[in-house]
Amino acid sequence: MHLKNGLLIFFTLLILSNLSAQNVGIGEPNPSEKLEVNGRIAAKGYKNSIFTAAGASSITVLEEFDWIDIDGLSVTITLDAPTTVIISSKVHCRAFSSNSIMATRLFIDGTDYDPTKNTIFVNIDRTIDNEHILELGAGTHTIKTQWKIISGTGWFSDVDANTERKLQVLVFGEAN
């Protein structure tokens, strides 16, 4: 009996040591990473943070042709390591005339995040939603939403019971 238990323990340890040296797949027969899961994952204890900035409840009139910060839409975070973030920005705007064209952009650490992804709108009354998924390096980062007039007679942003102005940053990992 002792020999059978000893052999069982030996083979179990041998199998476990081989598994620890290889990639593990859950629902994936040939995993290409240390852990590859084919399906949904539920986890407890994973750290993430949400940082939110909301605009003031006053009306902001824009008649500038240069980029300017949208009042109240700035978030500063400090990351301990390179981290994936999801950034969401929402602003409700109305134009003074139907020929107005406005653009918005995500401004990170004093630089346009991606000039090819600036959002341009022609509509007279519009809620502007922008979402970005990116990786930021370790350190302190300031994230802003900016806007400018491309052409026309101006825009204004307002916050009332039916509209909102918000910038949210979801950090997957440690952040301050």
- Supply the pLDDT for residue 94: 75
Residue pLDDT, tens place only, 32-71:
887 777 877 666 555 677 888 876 545 667 777 788 888 7
Which residues, including other chains, have CB under 8 Å from residue 159's CB and lie 6 or more apart?
A: 54, 55, 56, 57, 58, 92, 165
Neighbours of 120 (CB within 10 A): 11
User: pTM to 2 decimals?
Assistant: 0.65
**Dihedrals phi, psi of 34, to nearest 5 degrees:** -55, -40
Which residues, including other chains, have CB under 8 Å from residue 115's CB and lie 6 or more apart?
A: 105
Name the least confident of 8-17, 30-39, 84-93, 96-105: 8-17
Confidence category of residue 20, pLDDT binned at 50, 70, 90: low
- Supply the pLDDT for residue 161: 47
**Average pLDDT score, the chain:** 76
Residue pLDDT, tens place only, 113-148:
887 777 777 667 777 788 888 899 999 999 998 888
